[in-house]
Amino acid sequence: MSEIENKENEHNGAGDTAGTVSLAHIFIKDFSFEAPNAPNVIISPETDPEIQLNLKTSRKSLTNGKHEVILHINVHAKAGEKTVFLAEIDQAGIFGLNGFTPDQERRILGPTARLRYFPMRARPFHRW
């Protein structure tokens, strides 16, 4: 993927210079899907499945101002006590940050990063 430059409108408090955020890569880091009780729970469902959706983000600093942000998505569908399916995916992005204070970097790469940088995954689950 080519590098996309995005000028942030956040100021570092010391002047009027905005920092730069660049998106270098987005990729699937890990993926898992299990349907341990298929096909029985699909063919003869006892009840409507209950869906549990968990989203979280994590980040780590790399070298040369690069940072990895990972969106962790976990979806568990159960019908009664039986698992219908369990899906887990980690989607990662490599971002370059220049001209920000450490506090601004935390805000840019923190929990709201999934809304900014992974908009398809930030939509409500029922719309997928």
Question: For the chain, what are the domain ranges?
Answer: 4-122
Q: What is the CATH number of domain 4-122?
A: 3.10.420.10
Give yes or no for a contact between 49 and 18, defined as CB atoms under 8 angstroms apart. Answer: no
Give yes or no for a contact between 95 and 8, defined as CB atoms under 8 angstroms apart. Answer: no
pLDDT tens for each residue of 2-56: 333 333 343 334 444 578 888 888 899 999 999 999 898 888 877 889 999 998 8
- Tell me the residue ranges of DSSP E strands in 12-49: 18-34
Residues 6+ away with beta carbon under 8 Å from 30? 88, 89, 90
pLDDT of amino acid 112 = 60
DSSP 8-state code for residue 126: G
pTM: 0.70
